[in-house]
Chains A and B, each alone.
Chain A
């Protein structure tokens, strides 16, 4: 077990290093090919004073000759940046000169909340529907569950978002406030947009919407893995041992079905990131998704790199957790 954990940790670090370097190299290449973004600071075509240009370049970490040589991997600015990140220095924004570290302190918790609600929604709904469908395999319920989840999956998230925000949210909020009052939980929960005074309450609905991304995939995954285990030889053995159906399900089916489910959740996390970009944008949540989107829009190179670094760390971390959960669940992996 110990060796397995250490190996997975090293693998995770290596993956992260490669991803971060690729990210860095791509941005370096774009500077090398498309030209110096520091010029933008002076507004397009004007030729700035060389002294001032050098100052701006220093400010944004572009004061390195390697940015002028196409194809140069620019290792030294890469290492510098990693060192700064480790020390908690994420630089400042071009727009408004704000400290990125402070922004992250606001954005990361919001996106985390969004993902917590999304994961809870995804796992519980898919678990209930998948188990239900497996139990009634081939019957009406099974077909209905599969049909509706596929239908739900084929509706794009932004459509769900827009119809919620523009059609459902306002009348629902008005109705809830009429009954429970504006400051109550119910008065806030249906709001069409985020409210910084209620950082948990107003993220529930957006979280649920993000959670519908991949719901069909997850439901089918759970249905399939439960069916596989229900028809397995070891469940037949469990029956032959005279165990009650409840014990068979809990001891011999659910745990065995967890592996594909955990894989699925880990995999869907990457999808949820894209759901988060849209949801945070439409519902005005100051989170990582919106930050990355706006950073791209405003050509904030540093902000893009910070945002993508954070999401790379999250994805690598989640797959590390997935691997560790596998090992905790399955002795064949633990002793491999």
Chain B
């Protein structure tokens, strides 16, 4: 097997390596359902640098998956429509590229691991075929070479007896092993960005930890940028470098992981942190955030979090809070960001 040297400019013309690896800038996505427009993402912004892990955290329906699929360019349009913003990879706005370039970016530069590995793999093809497909389509490899590469990858993600398992079908693997197959597939073309959309939610606790460790190991070995999507802040505490908290389609807080845990600057983040089970809270009742996530078709005016916010005041009902930075590279979308940050609220 001859190793081919990859030049990023080949598949991404105009790439500038002084720009950040991946920059999501004021991204807007809406769904058009029965003539109505439902905003799913309303101005998501974050930056991912090479070799870093960004956790994207938020409740169900906050727009995490839609954001990641918009980055990949795999949303079905219609019903979805990207109505604004930019997704820049090495400074190149992917949203302005041709469909052909975008296809090259998928797999080659950005790859994704979905939550449910069983339904995300085609039940009728062997895992070897599905991994090898990437080499055959993007690199023109022969069936035989593709299979050898697939074995190599399965081995790397810790699947025992990879030589034999390569010919097996998805239903013949356990949940954790299937997620490893998904990860192997995502790693195939050595992407620079890996998005993991709740990769462990469907798994039991011990397997969750194994998969997290695997992702972390691979991320540092390959010096990739990793976006880890989860609704559980506890899971990412010792894996992530930065965190972006999403609420109702917006990023409401962005900070380094330590800073975010120690001194959250948004009431929502604060509430999420109180909901994490910890050693020192064992035996005490966990606080859950009261109320339901808002209906994206009928968002409350002003700050969308105000009906559930412990710190809300009249101003919050009418005025949309601006983005403020109570500390360096620590931003929050709250009228009282400073007070929350300094724990005065």
A242 with B137, Cβ < 8 A, contacts A237-B114, A332-B169, A332-B171 known: yes
Contact of A241 among B133, B171, B172 (CB under 8 A): B133
Chain A's nearest CB lies how many Å from the CB of B128? 12
Partner-binding segment picked from A52-60, A127-135, A228-236, A291-299: A228-236
A256 touching B114, Cβ below 8 Å? no
CB contact list, B105-122 vs A, under 8 A: 105-108, 111-112, 114, 116, 119-122
A96 to chain B, nearest CB (A): 54
Q: How far is the CA of A332 from the CA of B123 in the complex (A)?
A: 8
Q: Which residues of B contact A251 (CB under 8 A)?
A: 125, 133
User: Are A242 and B171 touching (Cβ within 8 A)?
Assistant: no
Bound: A239/B105 CA distance, A = 11
Whole-angstrom distance between the Cβ of B175 and the nearest chain A Cβ: 15
Asked whether B185 lies within 8 Å of A252 as measured between CB atoms, the reply is: no
On whether the beta carbons of B114 and A242 are closer than 8 Å, the reply is no
Given contacts A236-B114, A237-B114, contact A242 B122 (CB under 8 A): no
Chain A residues with Cβ below 8 Å from B76 are 231
User: Distance (Å) between the CB of A326 and the closest chain B CB?
Assistant: 11
Task: Give Cα distance in the complex from A243 to B108, angstroms.
Answer: 12
Is there contact, CB below 8 Å, between B124 and A331? yes
Is the Cβ of A243 less than 8 Å from the Cβ of B133?
yes
Interface check B313, CB cutoff 8 A: no
Given A329-B124, A331-B124, A335-B169, A241 contacting B134 (CB threshold 8 A): yes
Mask for A303-336, Cβ within 8 A of B = 1, else 0?
0000000000000000000000000011110010
- The verdict on A40 contacting chain B, using a C-beta distance below 8 Å, is no
Q: How far is the CA of A330 from the CA of B133 in the complex (A)?
A: 19
Question: A130-154 toward B: CB 8 Å interface, digit per residue (1/0)?
Answer: 0000000000000000000000000
**Chain A residue contacts of B182, Cβ below 8 A:** 237
Q: Is the C-beta of A3 less than 8 angstroms from some C-beta in chain B?
A: no
Chain B facing A: main interface SS: helix
User: Taking the complex as formed, is A116 at the interface, i.e. its CB lies under 8 A from any CB of chain B?
Assistant: no
Given contacts A241-B106, A241-B185, A330-B123, contact A236 B169 (CB under 8 A): no
Q: Which residues of A contact B119 (CB under 8 A)?
A: 232-234
User: Does chain B have a CB within 8 A of A240?
Assistant: yes
Q: For B137, list chain A residues within 8 Å (CB).
A: 241-244, 247
Give the interface size class of chain A: 20 to 34
Contact A244 B72 (CB under 8 A): no
Tell me the bound Cα distance from A49 to B265 in angstroms: 111
- Whether A240 pairs with B112 at a CB distance below 8 angstroms is yes
Chain B residues in 8 Å Cβ range of A238: 122
Q: Which residues in A have their C-beta under 8 angstroms from that of B126?
A: 331
Residues of A within 8 A of B114 (CB): 233, 236-237
Indicate whether A255 reaches chain B with its CB closer than 8 angstroms. Answer: yes
Q: Assess the A331–B171 pair: CB atoms within 8 A.
A: yes
A247–B122 CA distance with the chains assembled, in angstroms: 14
Give the distance in Å from the alpha carbon of A268 to the alpha carbon of B316 in the complex: 64
Q: Contact flags (1/0) for A25-63 with B, using CB distance below 8 Å? A: 000000000000000000000000000000000000000
Specify which chain A residues have a CB less than 8 angstroms from the CB of B107 in the assembled complex.
Answer: 240-242
Q: Which 8 A-B pairs have the closest CB atoms?
A: A242-B106, A233-B119, A331-B169, A234-B122, A242-B107, A239-B74, A242-B103, A233-B120
Residues of B with Cβ closer than 8 Å to A?
Answer: 69, 72, 74, 76, 103-108, 111-112, 114, 116, 119-126, 133-134, 137-138, 169, 171-172, 182, 185
Hey, which bits of chain A sit against chain B, CB under 8 A?
Answer: 231-234, 236-244, 247, 251-252, 255-256, 329-332, 335
Sample 29 A-B pairs with CB under 8 A, ordered by A number.
A233-B114, A234-B119, A234-B122, A234-B123, A236-B74, A237-B114, A237-B122, A237-B182, A238-B122, A240-B74, A240-B111, A241-B133, A241-B134, A241-B137, A241-B185, A242-B105, A242-B106, A242-B137, A242-B138, A243-B133, A244-B137, A256-B123, A330-B123, A330-B124, A331-B126, A331-B172, A332-B169, A332-B171, A335-B171
